[in-house]
Amino acid sequence: MSALILSTWHFGRIANVTGWPILENGGSALDAVERACAAVEEDPEVTSVGYGGFPDASGEVTLDALIMVAPSRCGAVACLRGFIPAISVARRVMEKTSHVLLVGPKAEEFAAAEGFTRRDLLTDRARRAWEEWKGRQNRQGQTAAEASVASTTADSRSNHDTIGVLAQDAAGNLAGGCSTSGLAFKLPGRVGDSPIIGHGLYVDPDVGAAVGTGHGELIMRVCGTFLIVEEMRQGKLPKDAIRTALQRIADVCHPLPKQQAAFIALRKDGLWAAGALRPAFQVAIRSPTEDDLLAPQIVFWPE
Ligand code: SD4
C-alpha cells in the first residue's frame, strides 16, 4: 500500500513537509499526523492554530485538538491554555487515560503532569489583532456576546482555519488529527467541532476517515465527519459522502453568506476527496507521486 498524507488549507503544506518523511521512512500514520499538526501549532505565522493563534474575546488563547485511529483509540483536549502541541497532549489522553476528552484547567494540570512545559501562546501580532477588535467592540458599545457573534460569523477566509490531517501509512493504517485555536475572538468557553469525535474528525479503520474545518457550529450540528464516514460505510464514494454532509449543512443550518465548512475524506483503500461549502478551501497532498496544494473537487456553492 502506498502512503499518503492530506492536510487542510495552505499551511497543510507545512504539515505535510513534517509528516511525509515519517511515512516515507515506514513510520506510523499516528506519528505522522501528530508531528504534522504539531509543526503547524509551533508556527507563529499561522494565526488560527497553536502558538500565534488569535485569542478569545477575553484575550486568552485556548486550544482544541483531537487525535484518532479508531473509535476505541482517540483522545482530545478542549479549551487548553498555555501548552503546545495540544495534539500531543491529546495523544497522551488517548494513551495514558481511559477517557476521550479533557477540558480547561484540568486538562492543563494533566499536560503539566505529563511533562509539557507551560508557555505564553499569545504573540505580539495576535495581541494587536485582539486589541483592535476590542477597540471596535468598545466603540460600537457591543457586549462580549454580541461582538463574538459578529466575529465568529465573519468572513471565513480571515479569522479561522483548523489544521486537519489524515494519513495512511505503508501498512494501510489510518490516523487523523486536528488542532485549532478556534474561531478568533470567540466567546470564552466556546468549544467548536475540532476536539469532538464525529464532529471535527472521525476515523474508523474498517471504513475510512474524515476531517472538517470551517465554522464549527455548522459541522457540529450535523455530526459532519461521522456522517461522512457512515456514508462511506454504506458504499458511497468519498466525494459523494462529503456532498451529503454539505447538503445536510445547507438544509438544516442555513449558513450565513460568509460561513464556510470543508471536509477531507479518505477511504481505507486510499481513495480520497475534498469538498467545501464555498470557494477558497485548499487541500495539501503528499504521496509518492504527488506533492501539491489543490482546490477541492466539490464546491457546493461556487460564488
Ligand atoms: C472551530 N472548526 O473551532 C474550527 C475552526 C476552523 O477553519 O476550522 N476553522 O470552529
Pick from 56, 183, 199 the residue to mutate for probing ligand 1's pocket: most ligand atoms within 8 Å of its CB.
183
Domain coverage including residue 75: 4-299
User: Nearest-CA neighbor of 19 among 8, 2, 5, 1?
Assistant: 5
- Tell me how far the alpha carbon of residue 1 lies from the centroid of ligand 1, in angstroms: 32
Ligand 1 neighbour 164 (Cβ under 6 A): no
Q: What is the mean pLDDT of residues 164-173?
A: 98
Going by pLDDT thresholds of 50, 70 and 90, the confidence category of residue 145 is confident
pLDDT tops 60 at residue 178: yes
pLDDT tops 80 at residue 148: no
pLDDT tops 80 at residue 15: yes
Q: How are beta strands 298-299 and 272-276 bridged, if at all? A: parallel
CATH number, domain with residue 51: 3.60.20.30
Q: State how many domains the chain has.
A: 1
Q: What is the mean pLDDT of residues 39-66?
A: 97
Distances from the Cα of 8 to the Cα of 13, 37, 67, 110, 163, angstroms: 9, 10, 15, 28, 6
Going by pLDDT thresholds of 50, 70 and 90, the confidence category of residue 146 is confident
Burial readout 90-113 (b: 16 or more C-beta within 10 A, e: otherwise): bbbbbeeeeebbbbeeebbebbee
User: According to the model, what pLDDT value does residue 202 have?
Assistant: 99
List 62, 162, 213, 225, catalytic entry: 162
Going by pLDDT thresholds of 50, 70 and 90, the confidence category of residue 160 is low
Residue in the structure block whose three cell numbers are 459523494: 240
Ligand 1 neighbour 53 (Cβ under 6 A): no
User: According to the model, what pLDDT value does residue 151 have?
Assistant: 66
Per-residue model confidence as pLDDT tens digits over 278-292: 999 999 999 999 999
CA 236-277-103 angle, 5° bins:
90
Active site residue 8: no
For the chain, percent of residues with pLDDT exceeding 90: 91
Going by pLDDT thresholds of 50, 70 and 90, the confidence category of residue 180 is very high
- Tell me how far the alpha carbon of residue 26 lies from the centroid of ligand 1, in angstroms: 31
Which cell is 298 given?
A: 466539490
Per-residue model confidence as pLDDT tens digits over 260-281: 999 999 999 999 999 999 999 9
- Tell me how far the alpha carbon of residue 171 lies from the centroid of ligand 1, in angstroms: 31
